[in-house]
Amino acid sequence: AQSVTQLDSHVSVSEGTPVLLRCNYSSSYSPSLFWYVQHPNKGLQLLLKYTSAATLVKGINGFEAEFKKSETSFHLTKPSAHMSDAAEYFCVVRAAGNKLTFGGGTRVLVKP
């Protein structure tokens, strides 16, 4: 069985400050992990993915995430938030088979 926990349902940051979105997973297998972003009433855009190569993964729009097996974590960071980063972010795990398991989402608010 696999599961994903996003530790914060809402995160509020000021423009230009760092963003940290926390994600912990559980999996019986060596997982693949993803972060997706969803803007209001829009579809999902892949930010980055980890598939057992480098543990520090760089994605689009300045985001990156680090896979830490010992902590079963895959936190997403960005050094400097932009207004356009306001959206909902989903941490996703695929352990085996063809099913993706989504976390509950973290809604990011960026204050000017």
Partner 1 sequence: NAGVMQNPRHLVRRRGQEARLRCSPMKGHSHVYWYRQLPEEGLKFMVYLQKENIIDESGMPKERFSAEFPKEGPSILRIQQVVRGDSAAYFCASSPTGLQRTGNTIYFGEGSWLTVV
Q: Which residues bind partner 1 (CB under 8 A)?
A: 32, 34, 36, 41-44, 46, 49, 51, 90, 94, 97-105
Phi, psi (deg, nearest 5) at residue 85? -80, -5
- The set of residues, in sequence order, having a beta carbon less than 8 Å from that of 111 and lying 6+ positions away, is 12, 13, 14, 15
Nearer to partner 1, 49 or 77 (CB): 49
CA distance 105 to 7: 9
Residue corresponding to tokens 């207004």: 83
CB of 100 to partner 1, least distance (A): 7
Q: Which C-beta is closer to partner 1: that of 3 or that of 12? A: 3
Of residues 95 and 110, the one with the C-beta less far from partner 1 = 95
Q: How far is CA 70 from the centre of its chain?
A: 18
For residue 111, the minimal CB distance to partner 1 (Å) is 22
Minimum distance of partner 1 from residue 104's CB (angstroms) = 5
CB of 16: closest distance to partner 1 in angstroms? 29
CB-wise, 64 or 100, nearer to partner 1? 100
d(CA 109, CA 88): 9
